[in-house]
Amino acid sequence: MSNNNNAKSGNAKGGGPQAPRKESILELAKMMDSSVRIKCLGGRELTGILRGYDDLVNLVLDECEEFLRDPEDPQRITDKTRKLGLVVVRGTQVSLVSPQDGVEEIANPFATGEEEDEEE
């Protein structure tokens, strides 16, 4: 019998020097124990107090609330919320993390003229 090492998929330990660890773009440590707003893939939006996170941007939110969607237009988020309590949000679903304080809605600068005509 011969020993076939070609079946192994890569060398986990690596022979070369390891690359220096990159720092995260997000500065989540500054937002710890403060109110944050999270936007997820798929359109969900959450607010809560950031209690913890890890390198994969898995987040722990306390006193979490989810913004409900408009039943007639599922793409539109309403001001109505439902309480979720203590929540873990997987990092693969997180697209935006922002502080809740100082957040305000602005007009869409990319709105077409047709959309403006509908509002009038």
Do residues 62 and 89 lie in contact, with contact meaning Cβ atoms separated by under 8 Å? no
91 vs 85: CA distance, rounded Å:
18
Give the max Cα distance, the chain.
81
Q: pLDDT per residue over 38-87, tens digit each?
A: 999 988 999 999 999 998 999 999 999 999 998 898 888 888 999 999 99
Q: Which CATH class is domain 28-99?
A: mainly beta
**What is the predicted pLDDT for the residue at 9?**
44
For the chain, give every domain's residue range: 28-99
Identify the residue with better confidence: 115 or 104.
Answer: 104
- Please report which confidence band the pLDDT of residue 14 belongs to, taking 50, 70 and 90 as the band edges: low
This prediction's pTM: 0.65
73 vs 59: CA distance, rounded Å:
28
- Given the structure tokens 């998929």, which residue do they identify? 9
Q: How many C-beta atoms lie closer than 10 Å to residue 9's C-beta?
A: 6
